[in-house]
Amino acid sequence: MTAPMLELRDVVRAFPVRDALGRSKGAVRAVDGVSLSVPRGSVLAIVGESGCGKSTLGRLALRLIEPDSGQILFEGEDLRSLSPAALRARRRDMQLIFQDPFASLDPRMTVEQAVAEPLRLHGIVPRAKERDRVAELLSRVGLRPELARRWPHEFSGGQRQRIAIARALASGPRLIVGDEPVSALDVSVQAQVINLLQDLIRELGLTFVLISHDLGVVRHIADRVAVMYLGRIVEEGPTAEVFSNPKHPYTRALLAAVPGQGHTKGAAALLEGDAPSPIDPPSGCRFRTRCPHAEAICAAQIPPLADHGHRAACHRQAELPPAAARHERDAGGERLKRLQAFFSDQRTGE
Amino acid sequence: MSTTVATKAPPLERGQSPARRAVRRFLRHKLAVAGLVVVLSFILIAALAPWIAPYDPIATSWSNIRKPPSALHWFGTDENGRDVLSRLIWGARASLMAGVISVLGAVLIGVPIGLLAGLAGGWVDATISRIADAMLSVPFLILAIALAAFLGPALENAMIAIAITASPVFVRLARGMALDAKSTDWVEASRALGNPPWRIAFVHVLPNIIPPLLVQSTLAIAEAIIAEASLSFLGLGQQPPAPSWGSMLNSAQRFLDGAPWLAIAPGAAIFIVVLAFNLVGDGLRDALDPRADRR
């Protein structure tokens, strides 16, 4: 079997926290031992509350931030072993789409200059064909090529995000990380950009890592979901499976917080308060301070990501009542139903 | 669906660049435009000095010593019978050159070093910043005088001294702006695209920090003109008999009672040019305000 497009092995990154005098006050373990695998051509969503480390994880995956430890394998090759020059050359294969399209475009570059930059950096098309290629890319993301000579400030948020997508596509990447690519946009524009991304993923066979807190979007386009809490992955599995049969109390709470998702408050109480400080996270299971099911073991031991149908890091996942029982069906699609049927058969067979 | 999103512009219409928008905002600023006109006229006067100066600025005339302003000598004559207006016109060369060239020097020294400090970070930044702080802790003029005295009295040396003395301000400014820019998404995006560090510094960061550098430069020119006048006043800049506003003030101080016009003319010239540069600087600061340019 070929190597997955992207594989993270036990990746750790902590940011030192200093007081006003520059003395170290400890560290925020933004990403604390994350292992993930993203198969070629799939869409993985990373979800979680703000501050859980999902954006840091996305940047670690592209080695835009250096990890403290762990491995980042891109098509089987450890990105950490690459020299700076080799890494820059490799960047044509992996790109990032930012959350805020008002900040991600250089205000002093025209659309044409911005989209042509990766073409030039990686010598993708001869100079003579550059203009044609830019026009092609712009029309591919739904912008009229006539706008190429304009400056970013002349566009709306949705248009700017399309420019950023065109720029990310220019070098012909195989992996794209989207860091909340639509959450800064107007709701009316979000759906258009999501559809565009979905079309591009399908047509270009892209592997996509979607960082999002919008579970509706995630459910719509992701093949797999990883749920993060305070720097760790607490649950990971096929999207339909995680949504219909969440194992981890945190995932259940997240799903319960989504309107129209069908989980009742009885199944998983809504989260209260804020996540604990990542400088001084709780011992054992990091979610235990907000978990309605916490017991002594949860404070004593870090729960492993155990495989029960899909991976979840909870000591008590086997004992908790299944959430799926109370799950009311909404627009989930055929595949979801098949999967649900498959997993419920398996459970009764045991 | 997606092709209907952008329908505003006629084919291949050129957008309005941030620079053009800044020019438009600058032109709305009346005082700044007035300042710019004054600055440009002084530059013109300095450039055309050989043709517009009525007399030879260093030709002495023993029959015309310390004559008050008259139809023949509009600004009077000095203690050696030289025409003050002609010396003022020629002196504009020394003053403006000292102002512009030394600030240019300060920018060329300070900005690359500041960019390096801001973008490289770590011990590079710490070392550069401490040296800049140390230089800034000495009063501007004291440091300039010390350097000029060390290099020897000459206009070129005064300019070098001013350039070196003014450079830490640009180091600090460029470093701070580079630090700011480093945390923006578009600089991270340029890294994600595979830009080498030098390209990030000069293609993405530098053009975006030009506005504050330009503002600082115009204000620094005003300061450098005063510094040159001070150095010349102390005998460390322009050497006699060549005229400069500072050296004219220097020789005028002995005759303040009997011939005040000797001091008033160069003093007023310095005052007007410095004020004009400051007005231009203020206008540029408003016109280049990044908040006005964001959207």
CB within 8 Å of A313: residues ≥ 6 apart: A232, A233, A234, A235, A248, A285, A303, A304, A305, A306
Q: Do B194 and A92 touch (CB under 8 A)?
A: yes
Mean pLDDT of A185-199: 89
Whether pTM > 0.90 for this model: the answer is: no
Give the pLDDT mean for A198-223.
Answer: 91
Q: What is the mean pLDDT of residues A97-117?
A: 91
Q: Is the Cβ pair B12, A91 closer than 8 Å?
A: no
CA distance A96 to chain B (A): 7
* The total number of structural domains that make up chain A: 1
**What value does the CA radius of gyration of chain B take, rounded to a whole number of Å?**
23
**Residue B3: pLDDT band with limits 50, 70, 90:** very low
Cα nearest neighbour of B186 on chain A: A104
- Work out the pLDDT band at A313, boundaries 50, 70, 90: confident
**Window from A131-135, A332-336, B42-46 with minimum mean pLDDT:** A332-336
Is the predicted pLDDT of residue B270 greater than 80, yes or no? yes
Q: For residue A138, what is the nearest residue in chain B, using CA coordinates?
A: B3
Q: What is the CA radius of gyration of chain A?
A: 21
CB contact under 8 A, A171 and B196: no
pLDDT digits (tens, 9 = 90+) for B106-129: 999 999 999 999 999 889 999 999
**Residue B241: how many other CB atoms lie within 10 Å:** 13
Q: What is the pLDDT of residue A342?
A: 57
- Return the pLDDT at B10: 46
Q: Which residues contact A307 (CB under 8 A, 6 or more apart)?
A: none
Q: Do B14 and A117 touch (CB under 8 A)?
A: no
Among A179-183, A259-263, B29-33, B73-77, the range scoring the smallest mean pLDDT is A259-263
Pairwise CA distance, residues B267 & B187, whole Å: 47
- Of the pLDDT bands very low, low, confident and very high (cuts 50, 70, 90), residue A348 is very low
Which residue in B has a C-alpha nearest to residue A199's C-alpha? B2
DSSP 8-state secondary structure symbol assigned to residue A79: G
d(CA A14, CA A27): 6
Beta bridge partners, A228, equal: A233
Tell whether A24 is covered by a domain: no
- What residue type is A218 in one-letter code? V
CATH of residue A52's domain is: 3.40.50.300
Query: What mean pLDDT do residues B11-39 have?
Result: 84
Nearest to B16 among A99, A104, A151 (CB): A151
CB contact under 8 A, B194 and A89: yes
Query: Please, which pLDDT band fits residue A98 given cuts at 50, 70 and 90?
Result: very high
Q: Say yes or no for a CB contact (<8 Å) between B189 and A195.
A: no
Tell me the three state secondary structure of residue A44: strand
Higher pLDDT among residues A299 and A89, named by residue:
A89
How confident is the model over B192-236, as pLDDT tens digits? Answer: 999 999 999 999 999 888 888 988 998 899 889 889 888 888 888
Query: Residues B148-185: pLDDT tens digits?
Result: 999 988 889 999 999 999 999 999 999 999 999 888 89
Every domain of chain B and the residues it spans: 21-46+82-293
Q: Tell me, yes or no, whether A243 lies in a domain.
A: yes
For chain A, list the strands marked E by DSSP: 6-18, 24-38, 43-47, 69-74, 77-78, 94-97, 175-179, 207-212, 224-229, 232-238, 306-308, 310-312
**Is A226 among the domain residues?**
yes
Mean pLDDT score, B120-147: 92
Task: Please report whether residue A25 resides in a domain.
Answer: no
Q: E strands within chain B? A: none
Residue ranges making up the domain that contains A152: 40-66+77-350
CA-based nearest distance A225→chain B, Å: 24
Inter-chain touch B5–A192, beta carbons under 8 Å: yes
Cα–Cα distance for residue pair B267/B88, rounded to 1 Å: 10
- Which pLDDT score is estimated for B290? 60
Residue of A nearest to B199 (CA): A121
Structure token pair of residue B171: 């180091």
Question: Which CATH homologous superfamily contains domain B21-46+82-293?
Answer: MetI-like (1.10.3720.10)
pLDDT at position A266: 45
Q: Over 50: is that where the pLDDT of A97 sits?
A: yes
**Inside any domain, residue A118:** yes
Residue A350, class by beta-carbon neighbours within 10 Å (0-12 exposed, 13-18 middle, 19+ buried)? Answer: exposed
Chain A hits for B193, Cβ within 8 Å:
91, 95, 117-118, 121, 167, 171
Looking at CA atoms only, how far is residue A63 from chain B in angstroms? Answer: 9
From the CA of A151, how many Å to the nearest CA of chain B? 6
Neighbours of A276 (CB within 10 A): 15
Nearest to B208 among A108, A153, A164 (CB): A108
The pLDDT, as a whole number, for residue B190 is 93
Flag whether pLDDT at A346 surpasses 60: no
Residue A174 lies in a domain: yes
**Rounded to whole angstroms, how far apart are CA atoms A332 and A340?**
11
> Is B4's pLDDT higher than 60?
no
Any idea what the Cα angle at residue B88 is, between residues B86 and B94, rounded to 5°? 115
B188 vs A contacts (CB less than 8 Å): 64, 96, 98
pLDDT band at B294 (very low <50, low <70, confident <90, very high): very low
Strand order in the sheet with A224-229: A94-97, A175-179, A207-212, A43-47, A224-229, A232-238, A310-312, A306-308
Q: Which residue of A has its CA nearest to B185?
A: A104
Query: Nearest CA to A264 among A253, A249, A248, A251?
Result: A253
Chain A: nearest CA to B217, how far in angstroms? 21
**Is the distance from CB of A15 to CB of A26 less than 8 angstroms?**
no
Mean pLDDT estimate for chain A = 84
Residue A299 has pLDDT above 90, yes or no: no
Average pLDDT over residues A170-199: 91
A102 CB neighbours in chain B (<8 A) are 294-295
Q: What is the band of B17 on the pLDDT scale with cuts at 50, 70, 90?
A: confident
Please name the residues in contact with A323: beta carbons below 8 A apart, sequence gap of 6 or more: A245, A246, A252, A255, A263, A267, A268
Asked if residue B284 lies in contact with residue B218, where contact means CB atoms within 8 angstroms, the answer is yes
- For residue A275, being part of any structural domain is answered with yes
- Contact state of A144 with B6 under an 8 Å Cβ cutoff: yes
Closest CB from B14, B15, B185 relative to A104: B185
Position A7 in a domain: no
Contacts for A311 with CB less than 8 Å, ≥ 6 apart: A233, A235, A236, A237, A305
Contact B208 A164 (CB under 8 A): no
**What integer pLDDT is reported at residue B268 of this predicted model?**
93
Task: Tell me the β-bridge partners of A233.
Answer: A228
Q: Above pLDDT 90, what percent of chain B?
A: 47
